[in-house]
Amino acid sequence: MSPIVYSRDKPFFRPWATAIGKLVLNFGSLEYETLEWLVQMLEAPERVSKFAGLTFVQRTDVVKRLIGDRAFAGTWKAASLQRWEEGKQIATIRNRLVHNPLVFGWSGNAEEGAPDYMDVPNVREALELAEPRPAPITLVSIGKATDRAASLVEELARLRKEWCALRDADLARDEE
């Protein structure tokens, strides 16, 4: 095994930093969407600040409970729950990248040129000697997670607006 070499600002860092940055930025939109869903779905929207300090996964679990309690249609409910589960999967990738050391590697024996993958040892799991370790991360896998996060935000916003329209129509009927 090669010794660990600490480096700063290597030329090959740029595409990795760009890819990780794009994922973080797009994931931020998912984070914000949890708050939008809470504002719309809570009986008392002014209580949304109570949830701001929760992690993404915790807020997602609250949103999923609200979906279960307040869905107007089964197909909408299933689609919404599935999209939020996908968001949690992206959160796993994002958290792995931003909360652990990043170690670059080469798939061949020669450690020359730019590395072709990045390993992200999970510090907590490493201390617990957990198995199996997740696969190394590639630029392609980061790009796919980024693209999915971006489209997921659009899908979730559309689903939220559908729910709001049904809620508002229901409220208008009640007022008549």
Question: For the residues 105-121, what does the mean pLDDT come to?
Answer: 74
Do 149 and 26 touch, CB atoms closer than 8 A? yes
Give how far the C-alpha of residue 77 lies from the chain's centroid of Cα atoms, to the nearest Å.
20
pLDDT band at residue 131 under the 50/70/90 scheme: low
CA distance 53 to 45: 16
- The helices-and-strands tally (H runs, E runs) of the chain is 5, 2
Which strand (E) or helix (H) includes residue 117? strand 117-119
Q: Name which of 100, 95, 104, 105 is nearest 123 in CA terms.
A: 100
The domain locations on the chain are: 15-99+146-175
More confident residue, 155 or 135: 155
Q: Name which of 74, 86, 66 is nearest 156 in CA terms.
A: 86
Q: What is the pLDDT of residue 122?
A: 66
Do 151 and 89 touch, CB atoms closer than 8 A? no
Q: Is 132 exposed, middle or buried (0-12, 13-18, 19+ CB in 10 A)?
A: exposed
DSSP 135: P
CA distances for 142 relative to 45, 69, 123, 159, angstroms: 35, 34, 20, 25
pLDDT tens column, 58-111: 999 999 999 999 998 999 999 999 999 999 999 999 998 888 777 777 777 777
pLDDT band at residue 136 under the 50/70/90 scheme: confident
Q: Is 108 helix (H, G, I), strand (E, B) or coil?
A: coil
Cis status, amide bond into 132, omega within 30 of 0: yes
Structure tokens at 22: 């794009």
Q: Is 154 exposed, middle or buried (0-12, 13-18, 19+ CB in 10 A)?
A: exposed
CA distance 167 to 56: 25
